[in-house]
């Protein structure tokens, strides 16, 4: 049985040849379409087991706490619809604690001891594990936070990085011409990122750009706002934490700056609105999937799955839950394409043949044949409403080339 199709149309179904693996399969998998006996890791007559790695503890555990709910929701939905080729989906999980060494142990346990077929991840600490996973040919899905994801055939992501030019296009369309970039510190990483966004703004036609560092607890928001006003900024870009950015936004308002647009790179989280929503009123944020507020069949399907299969997550509209939901969907697509008796190599080859994966409408189509680490060139923006109580979709699609479709 193929993975049952959702109500929303599939972007890749008609364009991809399904690879049907024969290695290790018995003849029982043909004819009736029922799952047969296979000897791939994690695959039994009635079940496929995958592994999940994320920080259940550690510094990043709070931000990523909703990730497991997204996994549970997508797996629950798949099992409700009959599984993949007649097999139910199950998973084992391990905590990486946000540590590379712990993550390496976690992946080793899942692959060598739990014998899972592959991994879905919500981790920024896989660096010490990647070479081993690639050498073993283990399929992995996740958000490519670490640059070393790029160039690995076995490691799948719908986003490696995001083109800064898109942010520039958005700011310019809102009539921003003089951009103050708010940075969190003056570290090498921060300086590099600031430089990338300055270049992105210039590529979008905005040449007047200046960086203003602000470190909470050390810097004075009023002093920074005064410098921004002296610069004559009509736009703000926050490459910093949303709560720190909110302090600068408030201070610039008091200083009398006339801003056409303000953008902060992170903060699409309803939980923030209860504490700093009014300070972020009017601020926009990039979103790398279809915004929750945009609605539609794909979003409703996600919300229904979260409500049914991850009820402990009282708020369905959480970006890390969505990221993991999409990455689980990506893994299930690979299982589907690998045929009734999946082996890892066929999974990888089949999924790498998909030219326009769109998570059934949740993301703009991505060419999985290209895993060079190319930045995402089109994405959406949301904006905090005037009272700071909710998000609204500002633009569903903005592209680096200036197009919107």
Strands (E), 160-277: 178-183, 208-213, 235-239, 261-264
DSSP H or E run through 273: helix 270-276
Q: Is the pLDDT of residue 404 over 90?
A: no
Residue 313 has a pLDDT of 86
- What is the DSSP code string of 209-235? EEEEE--TTTS-HHHHHHHHHHHT-SE
pLDDT band at 6 (very low <50, low <70, confident <90, very high): very low
Tens-place pLDDT, residues 280-321 = 999 999 999 999 999 999 999 999 999 999 988 888 998 999
Residue 36 has a pLDDT of 53
Tens-place pLDDT, residues 194-209 = 999 999 999 999 999 9
Determine the average pLDDT of the residues in 355-379: 95
Identify whether residues 213 and 68 lie together within a single domain. Answer: no
From CA 371, how far away is CA 150, in angstroms rounded? 6
Average pLDDT over all residues of the chain: 89
Residue 405 has a pLDDT of 64
Tens-place pLDDT, residues 28-72 = 333 334 455 689 999 999 999 999 999 999 988 887 889 999 999
> Which residue in this structure is represented by tokens 């390496």?
104
User: CA-based Rg of the chain, rounded to a whole angstrom?
Assistant: 22
Identify whether residues 157 and 35 lie together within a single domain. Answer: yes
Identify whether residues 107 and 205 lie together within a single domain. Answer: no
CATH label of the domain that carries residue 224: 3.40.50.2300
pLDDT cut 70: percent of the chain above it: 90
Identify whether residues 277 and 310 lie together within a single domain. Answer: no
Between 405 and 227, the higher pLDDT residue: 227
User: 18 by DSSP, 3-state: which?
Assistant: coil
DSSP state of 87: B
Between 65 and 108, the higher pLDDT residue: 108
Look up the domain containing 201 and give its range: 164-287+379-399
Q: What is the number of domains present in the chain? A: 2
Let me know if residue 15 belongs to a domain: no
Residue 132 has a pLDDT of 98
Query: Edge to edge, what strands does the sheet with 88-95 contain?
Result: 88-95, 47-54, 119-121, 140-141, 155-156
Asked if residue 249 lies in contact with residue 267, where contact means CB atoms within 8 angstroms, the answer is: no
Strands (E), 97-231: 119-121, 140-141, 155-156, 178-183, 208-213
Of the candidates 223, 224, 200, 195, the residue with the CA atom closest to the CA atom of residue 212:
224
Strands (E), 242-302: 261-264, 284-287
Let me know if residue 202 belongs to a domain: yes
Ranges 182-191, 271-280, 353-362, 395-404, most confident? 353-362
């Amino acid at each position: 049985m193929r993975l049952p199709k959702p109500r929303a149309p599939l972007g890749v179904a008609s364009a991809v040849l399904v690879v049907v693996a024969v290695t290790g399969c018995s003849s029982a998998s043909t004819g009736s379409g029922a799952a047969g006996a296979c000897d791939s890791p994690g695959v039994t007559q009635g079940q496929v087991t995958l592994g999940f790695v994320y920080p259940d503890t550690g510094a990043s555990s709070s931000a990523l706490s909703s990730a497991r709910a997204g996994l549970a929701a997508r797996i629950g939905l798949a099992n409700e619809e009959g599984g993949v080729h007649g097999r139910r989906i199950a998973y084992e999980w391990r905590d990486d604690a946000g540590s590379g060494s712990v993550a390496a142990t976690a992946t080793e346990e899942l692959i060598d001891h739990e014998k899972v077929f592959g991994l879905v991840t919500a981790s920024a600490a896989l660096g010490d594990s990647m070479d081993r996973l690639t050498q073993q040919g283990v399929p992995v899905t996740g958000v490519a936070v670490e640059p070393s994801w790029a160039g690995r055939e076995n490691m799948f992501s719908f986003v490696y990085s995001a083109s800064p030019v898109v942010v520039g296009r958005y700011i310019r369309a809102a009539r921003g011409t003089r951009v103050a970039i708010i940075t969190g510190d003056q570290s090498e990483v921060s300086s590099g990122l600031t430089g990338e966004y300055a270049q992105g703004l210039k590529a979008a036609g905005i040449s007047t750009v200046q960086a203003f560092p602000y470190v909470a607890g050390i810097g004075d928001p009023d002093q920074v706002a005064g410098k921004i006003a002296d610069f004559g900024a009509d736009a703000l870009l926050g490459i910093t934490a949303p709560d720190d950015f909110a302090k600068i936004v408030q201070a610039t308002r008091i200083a009398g700056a006339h801003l056409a647009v303000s953008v902060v790179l992170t903060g699409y989280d309803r939980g923030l609105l209860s504490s700093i929503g009014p300070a972020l009123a009017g601020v926009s944020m990039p979103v790398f999937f279809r915004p929750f507020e945009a609605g539609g069949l794909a979003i409703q399907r996600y919300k229904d799955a979260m409500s049914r299969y991850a009820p402990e997550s009282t708020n369905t509209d959480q970006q890390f839950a969505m990221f993991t939901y999409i990455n689980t969907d990506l893994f299930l697509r690979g299982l589907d394409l690998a045929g009734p008796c999946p082996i890892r190599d066929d999974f990888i080859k089949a999924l790498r043949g998909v030219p326009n994966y769109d998570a059934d409408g949740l993301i703009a189509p991505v060419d999985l044949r290209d895993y060079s680490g190319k930045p995402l060139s089109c994405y959406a923006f949301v904006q905090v409403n005037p009272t700071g109580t909710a998000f609204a979709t500002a633009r569903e699609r903005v592209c680096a080339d200036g197009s919107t479709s």
